[in-house]
Amino acid sequence: MPPLPDSLPGLSDDYTSQFFANDVVTKPDDVLFRGRVLRCWADEDGGPPPLPPGEEMHPLDRPLKRGEVGISNLSNGELQIVPESTLRLYQREFIKGDVVKRSLTSPESAVVIDIKSEVRLEHVLSKEKVEGWVEYRKMQNSLLFDARDRVVYDEWIGTVEEVFEEGLVESQIGICYRLAEMGGLLEPGRLAADVIPKDMPHAEMSNPLPPFANPEVDRVVAVNPIVVYVTWNAINQQLPISEQDKHPEPKQYWFGEDVKKLTHFDALQSQPPVIGSTVRFRDPDDERRYAVKPTLHLGGLKKVTSLNIVESRSRLTLRWQTGKETEEWATDLVPYRNVDDYETWPGEHLIWRGDNGERRHAVAQTFDPHQRVAELLFMDTNEKQIVPALELDPGGRNNTTTYGVGFGMQVLLCANNGSSPPEVPVLGQSELPIKNMWSRHELAKLAEEFVVDPSKFGYFKPEGDRNKVDWWGEVVQLNLDGSVDVELPNKEKRKVAIQNMFLLNEPHGEDMLGDEPHQVGEGDDWEMEGTTENGFEVGSDASWETMSVDGDGGQSNWDEPQVVDIDIDGSDIGLDEDEDEDARDARGVELVVGAAQPPTSPPRASSPALPDDIPEAGPSTLPNGHDSSKTVHHVNGIEDDDDEHWQRFEMLEEAPEDHWYIREPRLSAASKTYHSRLQREHRALMSSLPENILVRTYEDRTDLMRVLIIGPEGTPYTDAPFVFDIYLNPTKFPQEPPTVHFHSHTNGHGRCNPNLYEDGKVCLSILGTWSGDKSESWNPSKSSLLQVFVSISGLVLVRSPYHCEPAFAKLEGTKEGKVNSRLYSEKAYVLSRSFVRTALERPPIGLEAELRHFYLTKGRLQSVIDHARRLIDKGEAVSNGAGEDTIEEENAEMWNADAMGSLTMGAIISLKVSGVVVNGRSERC
């Protein structure tokens, strides 16, 4: 058992975090307290970066212990780290398209397809409360323009990036003055002191506040947009290309009467209600119905009806993977953020991947999260079929290809998007950092002009007709026949095919819940970036205007996908004719070999350091406290008297043609240091290799090696062959680590390990393919090839490979981690079985005899078959209701002695489809 992470005392070994980022919490002993969760232990990979010398630690900067969260007090902005046990959940919100569970340990999940939110409100100034709960859909932003709002002009749709605003502030003597600001801090009801930079004395401002101003008391009563900065995302895709040329991209800065030409779409309803945000009723009739009492200002000329959200609750309409739809409170659910690569939900478009490389477009009908099978509607034949989860490619999670669309997504309608279904192209531009900085400078210059001459700008409202925008909308339904319902701005709904839409690029690529509203209070610094050409600093006193107002103014050649039957009688195996009968009896599986896919984000695995003299390989320290002596076991069937057939180190005459690096140029003029180091490495490998690792070197290419590692017992990789090709650059080795390529055979069904990519990348700190701790990196004087090979065997091919992913390493032992780890290990087991078949059907050159000896002569193939049969029988017993209690108890412990519990039906089908022999005959589902 790995050592527990740094935890609060008294926590159980399998404690799982209770809160998530953006949760609003309260305290049992202080029911009026409201705090927002900013940091969670489970979400962080290590603590915050070290502070510069002399800088004080921020209240939230220290690393969290398990059982702690970092929160912000919503009433005063105070930041603190507190135990989760002292908090209670008050509000948890989601957006459409989010995936949720009833608990992190439940296998069942659902997608949010609709949200009904209600809010409690109070007047921003008088604090008079509105009676009862109010439907959130009746509200709109109190600001006319806000960041993330959409605007349309001349067949273009854009996103509001920033707004330069003017705020009307009422003093205690009833006279108003104006503040101009572009930091997003102006809101009705906010104190002037919360808007003005705290480190700027009022007397030093270029436009100082009037003498009667008291920022600590004076409040903003109105906010008017002066300049609106827009990023234009895309043009109407229903226009012919010839027509699109007639509509150039509009300008970015809008002010004066030009603002009236815009059509404006408030983004409030696409975000969850947030405590403290400022809203107002859309319909004046609702305002009267709920008896909102406005406050009057400027002698009755100015009326304020803005309201603060003080409480919210939401009921979610959920579509579960089984197809059932329910309505439940948001606080009864948890976000499911560690979605695996194969899960899907009804109505989603995906690709079905066959073992022969076949790929077909399908729509999910149901998904069984317990048995890991899905019912698909194949779009080419309109037929339905049950398939295992490992054959699903939902897209979009671990690759850049987006399949279909999701609930709540914004889409542009078109005649044909030109892509092959299920791909849906993403259209639209977003701000690049350099361009955004330049744009802020330009906006700042306009702000400066306003300070000098306000009359040049004026204040106007957008007057565009929303009902005329019929080419853009929101996805509100995914139908099981593959069609999609899109709601237009005028509330009209259209049923369209995915070929008739583009995904509209989100301007920042951020989750709506990722940006919380600014909470003003202690510890808040008013700061803006950038300066203009004339030295005007954005957010400085030059952006302010104050005045008194008294009126309303590639893969190797043995990676090709093939299939071979390995039958009980030994026919069709393609081995030597003089093979002995005992070897022929030790067979019976058909497995599948795979093609390569692009890599995803790199995982991390540490590497144990060896001393300078490179002793024999021994136990190594593994991630999370594992001991390799407990993970890397002897390989059954390989004994001392087998050395003749199991040479751990051997030098062959010629490098094989199928070596991944065979085309690397030969460098005969290698340095003396290289040759000396190579001899030293060879001596260590000859004397110290574990018995599950074979190394082949070559007389004609001393820069190449091939390594065979047999999966250690007690892991999902037991008895599976893992082949690695090594390149030692004579001009760089040993100053730089070797280059390693992994021969994957998963047929595009995913990685069998977080550190072993389908394209051959091996992710290890010692190889320089992961930026781990400096002590784990390659050290020319201490590191060795032996260390690299032992690291792969002991640190990568482990009992619980799920936790090799750095984000999930800390979850080992938790309830959530156990559930996810079990599913990952099942995948690793099924995929690695294909490696056995590939090694027998197309053995890597130079290792043919050893593989035949191991699997056939020594009977390990029969062991692989028998083990698969036992797991299949056990899994089928569970699906038939027999022995369920016993197996559930075993699965609660997650692993038995051979690292595998019972298999899900999806895994069983995958093994059968790939030809596992069951009861003496090859069955295919």
List the catalytic residues. Answer: 763
Pairing of strands 278-281, 263-265: unpaired
Are 594 and 390 contacting, i.e. CB atoms less than 8 angstroms apart? Answer: no
Sign of CA dihedral 895, 896, 902, 908: positive
Query: Please, which residues have CB within 8 angstroms of residue 667's CB and are 6 or more apart in sequence?
Result: 703, 729, 730, 731
Are 803 and 624 contacting, i.e. CB atoms less than 8 angstroms apart? Answer: yes
Other residues' Cβ atoms within 10 Å of the Cβ of residue 146: 19
- Each residue of 617-654: b (16+ CB within 10 Å) or e? beebebbbebebeebbeebebbeeebeeebebbeeeee
Sign of CA dihedral 325, 327, 328, 333: positive
End-to-end CA distance of the chain: 39
Distance CA 363, CA 341 (A): 16
Three-class SS of residue 201?
coil
Three-class SS of residue 210?
coil
Dihedral through CA 308, CA 309, CA 310, CA 311, nearest 10? 170
Please work out, in degrees rounded to the nearest 5, the angle formed at the alpha carbon of residue 162 by the alpha carbons of 410 and 78: 100
Query: Please, which residues have CB within 8 angstroms of residue 442's CB and are 6 or more apart in sequence?
Result: 252, 253
What is the token pair recorded at 459?
A: 């204040």
What is the enclosing helix (H) or strand (E) of 871? helix 860-879
Pairing of strands 88-91, 99-101: unpaired
For residue 424, which of 396, 450, 445, 397 has the smallest C-alpha distance? 396
DSSP per-residue codes, 650-682: EEESS--TT-TTTTSPP-----HHHHHHHHHHH
Three-class SS of residue 756?
strand
Distance CA 650, CA 25 (A): 64
What is the token pair recorded at 221?
A: 């009563």
Are 724 and 709 contacting, i.e. CB atoms less than 8 angstroms apart? Answer: yes
Sign of CA dihedral 42, 43, 49, 51: negative
Are 764 and 795 contacting, i.e. CB atoms less than 8 angstroms apart? Answer: yes
Pairing of strands 150-153, 156-170: antiparallel
Distance CA 70, CA 43 (A): 12
For residue 501, which of 410, 631, 607 has the smallest C-alpha distance? 410
Other residues' Cβ atoms within 10 Å of the Cβ of residue 238: 16
Three-class SS of residue 308?
strand
How much helix, strand and coil, in percent to the nearest 5, is found in the chain?
20, 25, 50
Helix axes 905-913, 815-841, angle to 10 degrees: 10
- DSSP, res 153: E
Distance CA 390, CA 343 (A): 9
Are 708 and 850 contacting, i.e. CB atoms less than 8 angstroms apart? Answer: yes
- Each residue of 417-446: b (16+ CB within 10 Å) or e? beeebbbbeebbeebeeeebeebbbebbbb
422 cis-preceded (ω within 30 degrees of 0): yes
- As beta bridge partners, residue 548 has 177
